[in-house]
Every structure is written in structure tokens, then in C-alpha cells.
Amino acid sequence: MKQIKLDSIPPSGFGLDFLLEPAWIKEMAQERPLGFIPSGPLEIEGELRRTGEGILFRGTVRGKIRLNCGRCLESFLKPLEEPVSAEWRLVSSPSKAADQDGGLQIEDLDTGQIQEGVVDLGVRVLEEVILTLPIQPLCREGCLGLCPMCGENKNLNPCHCQTKERSSPFSVLKNLKV
């Protein structure tokens, strides 16, 4: 976790280089599913600076994460080197954070909250890592997946199951000559 006090950020900004430790990431995973397991620390480097309306971080996250393949369900390591950016807006009063109906504005959804004059960079960077994950991670591009009949991993053992063709109302269209 990397927390930075607002009054320690000069207007010109400063460079950052820190680690998100696996123990902290696993602790965060207990609060919400992350979609990955860290395989060592995640290294974050970048620049934190003030903007007219808030704080902006731009940098890179590097490390290795463990994912489960979407086809064969096997666990695999994925190298990670992604650009990340995070933004926090300074709000002078709670009424400015909400619109007339008391709800959030659309620009509030992609910014972090500054609580008690502290920016929590670790949480925002972790959110950005989650957003970079593929919806269906693959251990390799040519992954064969699992046999739908016996459940065998086709990458490890070739399956000899006979796949039955299901009868459907459209099966008569196979013989149609156009």
C-alpha cells in the first residue's frame, strides 16, 4: 500500500518507484475478487503531480501474475508490463461531489477519492491492473481446451471421444442444394 499526503506533493510533481507486495494484494483479494494471483511483487514507477483540479499519476506496472486459462482451466504465469494512470479530484465540499439529485457525476466514476488529505496510490494502481486483464485469458493462443464429453485437457492428453451430432430442426438444411 502506498499512501501519500497531499501537502507533500509539490506543484511540479515527483517521481515514484515502489512495490505492491503479494501479501497486501492477497489481503485486497479477500475484500473483492481480483481475477489474478500475484507471483511476486508488482513494481510501479511513474510520476505523481498536481493538476489544476487534482492529482495525476502516470506510470508503468511490471511483474508477473498467475491467471487461469479460460479454455483448459490450467494456471499459468503472465508477464505484466502495462501503462497505468490514476486521477484524484480535489473537492472543497461534499455538495460539489454530487449533482443536484445527490448522485455521482459521470466524471466521478473514473477518479479516486482523497480521504483525510491522503492519496492511496496502491488501491488505484491495483484497480488499473484489474482493468487490463483479458476477459478470457489463454495460456497460449492455440490452447485446445477441455473435451466436452470426458473433460480431459486436450493439451495434455489427446481425447478419443466421439462427439455426437445433436439433432436439431436445422439439420435438414445440411442436405439442401442451393
Buried b (16+ CB within 10 A) or exposed e, 45-76: ebebbeeeebbbbebebebebebebebbeeee
Q: What is the pLDDT of residues 42-78, one digit of tens each?
A: 999 999 888 877 888 899 999 999 999 999 999 999 9
| Statement: the pTM of the whole predicted model exceeds 0.85 | no
